[in-house]
Amino acid sequence: MNAIVLSPLDLALAALLVLALAGLSWHMRIGVERQLLVSAARSTLQLFLIGLVLKVLFDNAHLVWVALMAGVMIAVAGREVMVRQKRRLLGWRGFGVGTLSMFVSSFSVTVLALVLVIGTTPWYAPQYAIPLLGMILGNTMNGISLGLDRLTQDAAQKRQILESRLALGQCWQRAISDSRREAIRVGLIPIVNAMSAAGIVSLPGMMTGQILAGTPPVEAVKYQILVMFLIAGGTGLGTVVAVSLAARRLFDERHRLRLDRLGTPVK
């Protein structure tokens, strides 16, 4: 069974939903019509561009090009993590914490799956490597963003409590431990919800795409289970690393709370 090819008219009909939503926003004075239209345009352009890039990459499968593509994806994801923070770490660390965390988690989990589980030949086959890394990165990025945002805001709101604990002789690890645990918990909420609802409330994207392309449902389910577990591992590991690195950055070598290392709240 071959996938049904969508025409430009089909996409235009679907785009009418976005236009209708933008019109409703304008009529109700919600104020998000501009963001909706810009986001829709960006999404369309970016997806078509990545489609062209992947076509060239699939035709010229080489480790160097796959690694370059993966590096760009991780770097862009790191920037997205940084800009989503209400109070982000200043300097290069605002970008470095998220990027390093996703490299340690998403990249390593993807390589593990390609080498030990899927077993493609070559192991870096872009048809598997790039989509798999993209799915893991996207979900890991959300978890890390939520975790870091919760940690930095918690530290700012509980400044007096943290400084009191430090004054009583606690080390920075113990003083921030409650906030760190809560930040990690918040970062894991999306993937926990996704796994809990998968198959009952929702049919995940990869499984749906494979079924639409003609893959037997049971085989599509197997791949989706694999992806969900990989995402959970990548999100958990990435969130723990990111929150731990950010928590260390909030204190200096003398165990003093340094909120001056955080930017002003973004409205």
* Residue 15, pLDDT score: 92
For residues 181 and 200, membership in a common domain is answered with yes
| Domain edge (last residue) among 13, 32, 60 | 60
For residues 77 and 95, membership in a common domain is answered with yes
What does the alpha-carbon distance between residue 132 and residue 233 come to, in Å, rounded to a whole number?
13
Interval 80-99: pLDDT, tens: 888 877 777 777 777 888 88
For residues 100 and 181, membership in a common domain is answered with yes
Taking CA atoms, 30 is separated from 43, 61, 99, 208, in Å, by 22, 47, 34, 33
Handedness of CA 160, 161, 165, 166 (dihedral sign): negative
Interval 147-171: pLDDT, tens: 999 998 888 888 888 888 888 888 8
Give the pLDDT band of residue 172 (cuts 50, 70, 90).
Answer: confident
Interval 183-194: pLDDT, tens: 999 999 988 888
Q: Is residue 266 part of a domain?
A: no
Range scoring the smallest mean pLDDT among 23-27, 177-181, 210-214: 210-214
Taking CA atoms, 164 is separated from 167, 212, 231, in Å, by 5, 58, 38
Average pLDDT of the residues in 173-185? 90
For residues 131 and 251, membership in a common domain is answered with yes
For residues 92 and 212, membership in a common domain is answered with yes
For residues 206 and 189, membership in a common domain is answered with yes
- φ/ψ of 91, rounded to 5, equals 75, -165
For residues 31 and 146, membership in a common domain is answered with no
Give the pLDDT band of residue 243 (cuts 50, 70, 90).
Answer: very high
For residues 170 and 226, membership in a common domain is answered with yes
For residues 150 and 77, membership in a common domain is answered with yes
For residues 177 and 51, membership in a common domain is answered with no
Which percentage of the chain shows pLDDT scores above 90? Answer: 24
pTM for this predicted structure: 0.80
- Please, what is the average pLDDT of the chain? 86
* Residue 88, pLDDT score: 78
For residues 100 and 29, membership in a common domain is answered with no
Per the structure, the complete domain to which residue 107 belongs is given by 61-261
For residues 54 and 67, membership in a common domain is answered with no
